[in-house]
Amino acid sequence: MPFKSIKTLILTSTPTPRNPQKKRKGKKKKLGKSMCPSSPIVPLLLYPPAMLLMLALTILAIVLSSLFFFKKSTADIATAITNTSTIINTSGVQPLPPSPPKLPIIGNLHQLGSSPHRSLCSLSERYGSLMLLHFGHLPVLVTSSPSIIREITQTQDHLFSNRPSLKAPNTILYGGRDIAFAPYGEYWREMKKATILHLLSNKKVGSYKQGREEELAFMMKEIERTMLVDMTERFHALSRDVISRAVIGDSTRNKLWGGGLRRFIDESSRMIGEFYVGDYIPWLGKIIGVVSGFERRLRNAFERSDKFLEGIVKEHRRRIAKRKEEEGDGDNATDECFLDALLTLEGELKCTGLVFDRESIKAIVKDMFGAGTDSTSISMEWTMAELIRHPAAMKKLKEEIIKVVGPNEASIKEEQLADMSYLKAVVKEALRLHPPASIIIPRQLIQDTNIKGYRIPKGTMVLINAWATGRDPKIWDSPEEFRPERFINGEAGDINFSSHGFQLLTFGAGRRSCPGIKFSVTLIELAIANLVYVFDWKPAKGEREDIDMSEVYALTTRKREALMLIATKAVK
Ligand code: HEM
Of 231-235, 266-270, 469-473, 554-558, the range with the lowest mean pLDDT is 266-270
Residue 7: pLDDT band (50, 70, 90) is very low
Question: 516: Cβ below 6 Å to ligand 1?
Answer: yes
Of 50-64, 136-150, 540-554, the range with the lowest mean pLDDT is 50-64
Per the model's pLDDT, the better-predicted residue between 197 and 329 turns out to be: 197
Over residues 164-185, the mean pLDDT reads 95
- Residue 34: which region, alpha, beta or left (left: phi > 0; alpha: psi -120 to 50)? beta
Residue 535: pLDDT band (50, 70, 90) is very high
Question: Is the pLDDT score of 327 beyond 80?
Answer: no
* Model confidence pLDDT, tens digit, residues 426-481: 999 999 999 999 999 999 999 999 999 999 999 999 999 999 999 999 999 999 99
Question: 363: Cβ below 6 Å to ligand 1?
Answer: no
Per the model's pLDDT, the better-predicted residue between 35 and 264 turns out to be: 264
Nearest Cα residue to atom 20 of ligand 1: 514
Over residues 384-412, the mean pLDDT reads 97
CA of 529 to the centre of ligand 1 (A): 23
Q: How many CB atoms lie within 10 A of CB 514?
A: 23
Q: What does each C-alpha distance from 347 to 241, 361, 363 come to in angstroms?
A: 29, 11, 16
Question: 373: Cβ below 6 Å to ligand 1?
Answer: no
CA of 498 to the centre of ligand 1 (A): 12
Is residue 351 a known part of a binding site?
A: no
Question: 131: Cβ below 6 Å to ligand 1?
Answer: no
Per the model's pLDDT, the better-predicted residue between 390 and 307 turns out to be: 390
* Model confidence pLDDT, tens digit, residues 399-425: 999 999 999 999 999 999 999 999 999
Question: Is the pLDDT score of 24 beyond 60?
Answer: no
Three-class DSSP category at 24: coil
Per the model's pLDDT, the better-predicted residue between 252 and 189 turns out to be: 189
Q: Which residues contact 77 (CB under 8 A, 6 or more apart)?
A: 69, 101
Per the model's pLDDT, the better-predicted residue between 46 and 347 turns out to be: 347
Q: What does each C-alpha distance from 431 to 183, 483, 533, 550 come to in angstroms?
A: 28, 12, 21, 15
Highest mean pLDDT among 275-289, 314-328, 393-407: 393-407
* Model confidence pLDDT, tens digit, residues 93-140: 899 999 999 999 999 999 999 899 999 999 999 999 999 999 999 999
Q: Residue 253: its pLDDT value, please?
A: 76
Mean model confidence pLDDT for the chain: 85
Question: 376: Cβ below 6 Å to ligand 1?
Answer: yes
Per the model's pLDDT, the better-predicted residue between 52 and 163 turns out to be: 163
Question: 149: Cβ below 6 Å to ligand 1?
Answer: no
Question: Is the pLDDT score of 355 beyond 90?
Answer: no
- Mutate which of 245, 467, 507, 557 for ligand 1? The one with the most ligand atoms within 8 Å of its CB, which is 507
Q: Distance (Å, rounded) from C-alpha 282 to C-alpha 136?
A: 9
Q: Which residues contact 218 (CB under 8 A, 6 or more apart)?
A: 241, 253
CA of 533 to the centre of ligand 1 (A): 29
Three-class DSSP category at 141: strand
Nearest Cα residue to atom 40 of ligand 1: 180
Question: 438: Cβ below 6 Å to ligand 1?
Answer: no
Question: 367: Cβ below 6 Å to ligand 1?
Answer: yes
Q: Residue 55: its pLDDT value, please?
A: 54
Per the model's pLDDT, the better-predicted residue between 258 and 346 turns out to be: 346
The answer to whether 212 and 526 have CB atoms below 8 angstroms apart is: yes
Q: Residue 324: its pLDDT value, please?
A: 82
Residue 538: in which H helix or E strand, if any?
Answer: strand 535-539
Highest mean pLDDT among 181-195, 291-305, 324-338, 352-366: 181-195
Identify which of 164, 145, 179 has the alpha carbon closest to the alpha carbon of residue 464: 145
CA of 25 to the centre of ligand 1 (A): 38
CA of 514 to the centre of ligand 1 (A): 4
Please state the φ and ψ torsions of residue 11, each to the nearest 5 degrees: -110, 10
Question: 432: Cβ below 6 Å to ligand 1?
Answer: no
Over residues 200-222, the mean pLDDT reads 96
CA of 540 to the centre of ligand 1 (A): 32
* Model confidence pLDDT, tens digit, residues 52-101: 455 555 555 555 554 444 334 443 444 334 434 433 455 578 999 999 99
Residues in the chain, overall count:
572
pTM check: above 0.95: no
Q: Residue 334: its pLDDT value, please?
A: 56
Q: How many CA atoms lie within 13 A of 189 on its CB side?
A: 9
Question: Strand order in 461-464's β-sheet?
Answer: 130-135, 138-143, 461-464, 443-444
Identify which of 202, 164, 206 has the alpha carbon closest to the alpha carbon of residue 445: 164
Per the model's pLDDT, the better-predicted residue between 80 and 492 turns out to be: 492
CA of 243 to the centre of ligand 1 (A): 13
Question: Is the pLDDT score of 544 beyond 70?
Answer: yes
Question: 201: Cβ below 6 Å to ligand 1?
Answer: no
Residue 323: pLDDT band (50, 70, 90) is confident
Q: Residue 59: its pLDDT value, please?
A: 55
Over residues 351-360, the mean pLDDT reads 84
* Model confidence pLDDT, tens digit, residues 356-378: 899 999 999 999 998 889 999 99
CA of 299 to the centre of ligand 1 (A): 25
Q: Residue 8: its pLDDT value, please?
A: 38
Highest mean pLDDT among 88-92, 205-209, 324-328, 344-348: 205-209
